[in-house]
Amino acid sequence: MFEIFQYDFMIRAMLAGVLIAIMCPLIGSFLVVRRLSLVADTLAHVSLAGVAAGMLMGVYPILMAMVFAFLGALFIEQLRKAYKTFGEISIAIVLSAGLAIAVVLIGLGRGFNLDVFSYLFGSIVAVKEADLWLISGVAAGAILFIAIFYKRLFAMSFDEEHAQLKGVNGFVLNSFYMMVTALIVSVSIRIVGVLLVSSLIVIPVAAAMQVAASFRNLISISLVISLAGILGGLIASFYLDLAPGGTIVLVLIAFLIGAVAVKKIRYA
């Protein structure tokens, strides 16, 4: 069992996994409640464009992914402001644009297709010390942001108009929130990849919603599920020689099924 700790790449992956497991439900709880779950998937596709741009330019890919996701988040907010009644249009537009840019850039740099593959599906071995430091910085910033703006984010999530009447600057707060989400999504692709990163943000929260009695309870339970799912998935992928990203998501899905079953039994 403890053989896993003999490998530096697994230790780095597990440390990164713990940080990501904490960040994703914290930010995801507000996203799910606001019915903006697809934002994470959209920013993941924009991050892929950043990864491709970084490889093409010879720049650290994750850093470029953060820049692209950051800009994508700002663009989403601008479009949401323009289409107030049809906010989901902004998500569809940015997702399409991000994917289109990624496809074009990957086509221009055919030589790095194999490297892009590791970002699409995640790779345990790919987690370097620089990635770990970057993830740590984003985690610290995300936790600090939630701690400072928790009450305002809570108010905005359940009644945006009332929160604005109380003096909350909705556009500014939403913009910062989207930017933090963008940073979390872009650094998480090292573990589970672009195609699955939104699962880390949505599934633990969806599972917790089945059994949580309050919003704070929702966050706490989703954190436990996220930690168990990511660490359990990493360990299982190591010993069973499976793809880490897919294994993590399947473990989280198992928790979701379990939570649904518990709710049915409770109210049977």
Q: What digits encode the pLDDT tens for the residues 180-197? A: 888 898 888 877 888 788
Amino acid at 135: I
Domain spans in the chain, listed from the N-terminal domain onward: 2-195
> What is residue 192's predicted lDDT score, i.e. its pLDDT?
81
> What gap in Å lies between CA 183 and CA 73, rounded to an integer?
9
Tokens of 36: 């903006």
Residue 118, pLDDT > 60, answer yes
pLDDT range class, residue 111, cuts 50, 70, 90: low
The average pLDDT across 221-245 equals: 90
Mean pLDDT of the chain: 84
Show the CA angle centred on residue 9, arms to residues 7 and 11, nearest 5°: 75
As given in the structure block, the two tokens for residue 260 are 């649904």
Q: What is the pTM of this model?
A: 0.86
Is 2-195 a domain of CATH 1.10.3470.10? Answer: yes
Reply yes or no on whether the pLDDT at 91 is more than 80: yes
> In this predicted structure, what is the pLDDT of residue 113?
59
CB 183 within 8 A of CB 64: no
- Does the structure show a pLDDT above 60 at 142? yes
The Cα–Cα gap between 212 and 263 comes to 10
When mean pLDDT is compared across 122-126, 143-147, 232-236, the lowest value belongs to: 122-126
SS (H, E, C) the chain: CHHHHHCHHHHHHHHHHHHHHHHHHHHHHHHHHCCCCHHHHHHHHHHHHHHHHHHHHCCCHHHHHHHHHHHHHHHHHHHHHHCCCCCHHHHHHHHHHHHHHHHHHHHHCHHHHHHHHHHHHCCCCCCCHHHHHHHHHHHHHHHHHHHHHHHHHHHHHHCHHHHHHCCCCHHHHHHHHHHHHHHHHHHHHHHHCCCCHHHHHHHHHHHHHCCCCCHHHHHHHHHHHHHHHHHHHHHHHHHHCCCHHHHHHHHHHHHHHHHHHHHHHHCC
Cα(130)–Cα(132) distance, rounded to whole angstroms?
A: 5
